[in-house]
Structure 1
Amino acid sequence: MPKSVTIRAAIVSGAIAAGALLPASGLAAAGPAVSGDAPLPALRICAAAKELPYSAQDNSGFENRIAMAVASAMGRQPVFVYSDKPGIYAVRDWLDKKKCDVIVGMDANDPRVLTTAPYYRTGYVFVTRKDRHLDVQSWNDPAIRKVGHIVVEFGSPSEVMLKQVDRYNDNMAYLYSLVGFRSPRNEYVQIPPEKMVGEVRAGGADLAVAFAPSIARYVKADPGLQLTPVKDDAKRSDGQALPQYYDQSMGVRLGDTGLQAALNAALVKARPQITAILEEEGIPLVQVAN
């Protein structure tokens, strides 16, 4: 789940946005039961109930699958603590309140948590229709200033760059129309990744720009679309680099070094399964930086 998107935005803007968080919606256990033996100790995993492709209550999200692989490597029973609220709220409302113990898929070194060693690295991608023959690989590509609508995730580096290339004003009404003109200033509002892909497919947008894990599944399922990694050469208006690639880790509560160490060992053990899950999802992977 895109739990670190506002942290990326905070790095850009110099402030971390706060949001109102709501109570838990319930617990669900995943993984095979152990019969005839002592029960396995639980690994309580913070998870969003409705945030595909990351997580869903039927465990169909790729982060659900990664969590189960890691729990198995630890010799623990995965127990998903599901919330109906977006994963962006998981740290303050769930992890910090000890309703669960680990969050899957956080930017490495997210200051709100103690992160594990990174287990994959990926970045933002451009999504286009193959029949449009748009060769866009960088935010510095002049073609970006000429294409039609561009759909981006709110609060992301892509939204920052849309403003940087002077395409925000002529896309703003279009972007807000995709969320019923709700304002992300007062509540968490995000364009669903499958809707972003649908806009490109239907011709409503020439270009979608999103974090690869959010959108790769839907692009892979559509032979008429193509996914192109964004070159890591974007710069803010002040000349500072705006990263397009991020190491992904698991997060535990600050100070929980014991669980951090156990997860680090399990991540090494489960690496083949994790890589297979990510590749099946269609997420383009690059070498971990940290």
Structure 2
Amino acid sequence: MRITALARIGCMGAFCVLCAVASPSWAQDDDAQDRVLRVCQDPNNLPLSNRDGSGLENRIAQLFADKLGWKLEHTWYPQRMGFIRNTLRAKLPDSDRYKCDLVTGVPVGFDMGLTTRPYYRSTYAMAYVKGHGLDDVHTPEDLLKLDVARRKALRIGAFIRTPAVDWLLQHGLIDQMVPYQHQSGDPEQYTGEVVDHDLADGKLDVVIAWGPIVAYFAQHAKPETPMVVVPFPPDASGLRYDFEIAMAVRHGDKALRDRIDSLIGSSQPEIAALLREYGVPSVPMQPD
């Protein structure tokens, strides 16, 4: 499996990227005529998307559809190996129409589609349960200042092939890592379980993962297990923890890409409010 920016971020279930594909540019013209915004989303990937419409990307897609005065339709598929092949690149049976036309969350630089301008930038974060001996940890550096015996006793959950692993390697904590894989093969499992279950239940002392996921499930933790979220700041050592998130259409569908770009630009106040509502650790966007 080729490691891409998406796999490095680890925020969407890690696609298995095979190749980019070109497609005709008439798809958006048809969409404009029938006034339907067709999005490709994961049905069980909170805080980003969920079949019940409660995810951040669900809400933004609905916002865009409302502004266009269009109907919103979904194609649901778990965001793991085969996601793009079975959604953005898949046609309906006995039809030339694609199942969906817009993937609502990809990293800038994603090469399996034509990307929009970014609509937010976030960073990795760590989380721990308050009152369990880590309350003095307010930055990642604070964790490194713990005495050696305490550090060696930590159980730190992290997803493989992500910046979290790089950080643990750099600071001699790889032996404390409890590894997780994004692609479990079980569509009922979700990335946030590492916080929602394993951290809350005491199986882990610390979780390091994509900030929007960590922050959302920490925000929704039970009162008896209050959690603290510690975002990673920019790192002078060259390790990267922050990423800009965009949307993607099929290669060649510039008309839809431009329409979504315009909506992202005109919806900045609403998007910012949603990011705050979901507790997303925000990093200032890179200048154009």
The TM-score normalised by the length of structure 2 is: 0.75
SS at 1:95 equivalent: coil
Aligned residues: 249
Structure 2 match to 1:32: none
Residue by residue over 1:217-276, the C-alpha shift from the partner in whole angstroms, topping out at 9 and shown as x without a partner, is 2111235211111122174xxxxx221111111111112111111001111222222222
Write the distance in 1 (CA, Å) between the matches of 2:211 and 2:8.
Answer: 17
Tell me, yes or no, if structure 1 residue 93 matches structure 2 residue 86: yes
Q: 1:201 to 1:187 in 2, by over 3 A?
A: closer
Question: How much has 1:166 moved relative to structure 2?
Answer: 2.9
Match for residue 287 of structure 1 among 275, 284, 287: 284
Q: Is the 8 A contact 1:161 1:234 kept in 2?
A: no
Q: Is the 8 A contact 1:47 1:81 kept in 2?
A: yes
Structure 2 match to 1:220: 219
Gaps (5+ residues) in structure 2? 19-32, 91-97
Structure 1 match to 2:47: 53
Write the distance in 1 (CA, Å) between the matches of 2:186 and 2:124.
Answer: 21
Residue by residue over 1:122-163, the C-alpha shift from the partner in whole angstroms, topping out at 9 and shown as x without a partner, is 111110222231415236952477151001123311123223
Question: How much has 1:64 moved relative to structure 2?
Answer: 0.6
Larger mean Cα displacement after TM superposition, 198-207 or 117-126: 198-207
Question: How much has 1:43 moved relative to structure 2?
Answer: 0.8
Structure 2 match to 1:151: 157
Structure 2 match to 1:130: 130
Structure 2 match to 1:73: 67
Write the distance in 2 (CA, Å) between the matches of 1:234 and 1:199.
Answer: 31
SS at 2:280 equivalent: coil
The TM-score normalised by the length of structure 1 is: 0.75
Question: How much has 1:46 moved relative to structure 2?
Answer: 0.2
Structure 2 match to 1:192: 191
SS at 2:229 equivalent: strand
Write the distance in 1 (CA, Å) between the matches of 2:143 and 2:74.
Answer: 43
Percent identity of the aligned residues?
25
Residue by residue over 1:178-232, the C-alpha shift from the partner in whole angstroms, topping out at 9 and shown as x without a partner, is x7xxx96x97998731333433333322211111122222111235211111122
Q: How does 1:1-290 map to 2 (within 5 A)?
A: 5-6=6-7, 8=9, 17-18=16-17, 41-83=35-77, 85-86=78-79, 89-97=82-90, 98-131=98-131, 132=133, 133-135=135-137, 137-138=139-140, 142-143=144-145, 146=151, 148-171=154-177, 174-175=178-179, 192-222=191-221, 224-233=226-235, 235=237, 241-289=238-286, 290=288
Q: AA paired with 1:121? A: R
